Amino acid sequence: MVVETQTARFDSIPLDCGATLSPVEIAYETYGKLNAAGSNAILIGHAFTGDAHAAGISHEGKPGWWDSMIGPGKGFDTDRYFIICSNVLGGCQGTTGPGTINPATGVPYAMSFPVITIRDIVRLQKMLVDSLGITKLLSVAGGSMGGMQALEWAVTFPEMVWSAIPIATTWRHSAQQIAFNEVGRQAIMADPDWAEGEYYDKKPPARGLSVARMVGHITYMSDESMREKFGRRLREKEKFGFDFGVDFEVESYLRYRGNQFVSRFDANSYLYITKALDYFDLTNGTGHLVDAFRSVETRFLVISFTSDWLYPSYQSQEIVRVLRRINGDVAYCDLQSNYGHDAFLVDVAEQTELVRGFLESTARVAAEAGQ
């Protein structure tokens, strides 16, 4: 299934920081068919460095980042549901972001791009969903930052979502999560090539971005998965080099992933999106999650993974407990996996079972309510 990324354009979008961005474009893909009643639409939110290409094969032959979960007969079954995935605001894969030309100046926004939030990202997604003629989504789902979008949808537009599937995520970024992001940002900004973000006609801050990605990658894996994958194996040598070239497999892997990332991701987007992640707090700083969920009637399927130490299970359990307190409709499972945070992308068999059953029951609930 070869898929095409499409673009929708809107005159302007008001942002949490007070600024207005105009115009604004959003890149998106869709899979499956919207039914006549418009009742089978599911929005997928991508993780930090993901994009709109969630499923199928692109023209370049690249499979979508969640192709194992989205497709005919898969967890998000495209024979039954109409799936939408868009690139986030502030991103660099088709949606307006710091690398986009500012029409007022004729050059990229760079650091003059307004600081955005997860709610801004969701607000733009809502404009897209509205423009597709969908009045209520069957579900909003996603892992990591995608899970934050699912939660934000349920809280900000509760009347527009039957259900939400937040996976491997949190209701607010913790000190540890902010700390890792800050290391990534500092690595980029410490690279002289970053040049206060004005590098678009020059050499990009490849070394800084690559280091940021290396740190990120460590947090996505687990002690166990790294031990299994690399151990202390040496890279194409029998003995230590007694120098600072690559000795270990894990070093080689991280350098490779870092370098590969630079060719597809914009350093300024890295700064802006990590900021949106760090600002994320469903309670707007009050800490009272019960109040945030008070008027929410959305059904929830919350999933965490036992070895995820970046978004540990307790953060998902906090969400579940609060939903219980308001007698909300919540299903929750802490799936056993050794893959760490990456589990929602790579360890999908059990996740598929959960998502399939939950979506079926949500479709039943929605159909009964619609009668």
Partner 1 sequence: MTVNSNGTSSLLMRPDFKIIAEIIQPGTKVLDLGCGEGLLLAWLAANKKVLARGVEIEASNVRKAIARGVSAYQGDIDEGLADYPDKAFDYVILSQTLQETRAPLQVLTEMLRVGRKAIISFPNFGHWTVRMAMLFSGQAPKTDLFPYDWYDSPNIHFLSINDFEDLCRKNGFPIERRYFLSGEKKVNWLPNLRGQTAVFLVG
Going by DSSP bridges, is the β-strand pair 82-86/24-31 parallel, antiparallel, or unpaired? antiparallel
Catalogue the active-site residues: 144, 308, 341
Peptide bond connecting 192 to the previous residue in cis, omega within 30 degrees of 0? no
> Does position 291 bind partner 1 by CB under 8 A?
no
User: Smallest distance, Å, CB 6 to partner 1?
Assistant: 33
Between CA 337 and CA 341, with CA 339 as vertex, the angle to 5 degrees is: 100
User: Smallest distance, Å, CB 92 to partner 1?
Assistant: 36
Residue 46 has phi, psi (to 5 degrees) of: -90, 160
User: Smallest distance, Å, CB 286 to partner 1?
Assistant: 19
Among residues 310, 321, 329, 28, the alpha carbon closest in space to that of 147 is found at 310
Alpha carbon distances (Å) from 315 to 102, 172, 281, 288: 38, 9, 12, 14
Bridge partners of 86? 28
Nearer to partner 1, 235 or 321 (CB): 321
Nearer to partner 1, 246 or 302 (CB): 302
From residue 293 to residue 332, what is the string marking binding to partner 1 with x (rule CB under 8 A)?
------x-xx-----------------xx--xxxx-xxxx
User: Smallest distance, Å, CB 186 to partner 1?
Assistant: 38
Bridge partners of 139? 42
Span interacting with partner 1, options 37-45, 77-85, 114-122, 352-360, rule CB under 8 A:
352-360
* 67's tokens: 């192709």
Cβ(161)–Cβ(149) under 8 Å?
no
Nearer to partner 1, 198 or 318 (CB): 318
Binding site for partner 1 (CB under 8 A): 299, 301-302, 320-321, 324-327, 329-336, 350, 353-354, 356-358, 360-361, 364
